[in-house]
Amino acid sequence: MKTEQYELYEYARKRIKQKRIVYFHFVLLFLAALFLFVATKVFDFNQNADWHIWLITAWLFIFILHFIKVFITDRFMSKNWEKEQIEKLVTLQENKIKELNNQINEDSSTK
């Protein structure tokens, strides 16, 4: 397998694993929320306190952050984006070095 094809394969495998973990996280959140609700309302477990609502809300917030990371952030900031940014910075650095070399050459030739 060529290196480029292998990189594409690895990237696809990594993305599928990330998505699978998000789906698992969602199912776990749903089941835990259902369990906490049932334990509190049906079995009258500490019904006066709303701790289960706070726990579910905090977990939902963490899930939303996880979802955003996998489906929004990682989609746009992939390996290709990273390579483009590195190439852009290297080009800028090379241009700056050329400018400095030209400036040094001009200064040495005028003296």
Cβ neighbors of 32 (< 8 A, separation 6 or more) are 56, 59
Kindly report, residue by residue over 14-40, the tens digit of the pLDDT. Answer: 889 999 999 999 999 999 999 988 888
Q: Domain range spanning residue 63?
A: 1-76
Same domain, 59 and 111: no
pLDDT-based confidence at residue 65 (cuts at 50, 70, 90): very high
Same domain, 59 and 95: no
Same domain, 71 and 82: no
For residues 55 and 36, is the Cβ–Cβ distance under 8 A? yes
Give the residue-averaged pLDDT of 89-99: 91
On average, the pLDDT of the chain sits at 86
Q: What is the share, in percent, of the chain residues with pLDDT greater than 70?
A: 96
Kindly report, residue by residue over 2-11, the tens digit of the pLDDT. Answer: 887 888 888 8
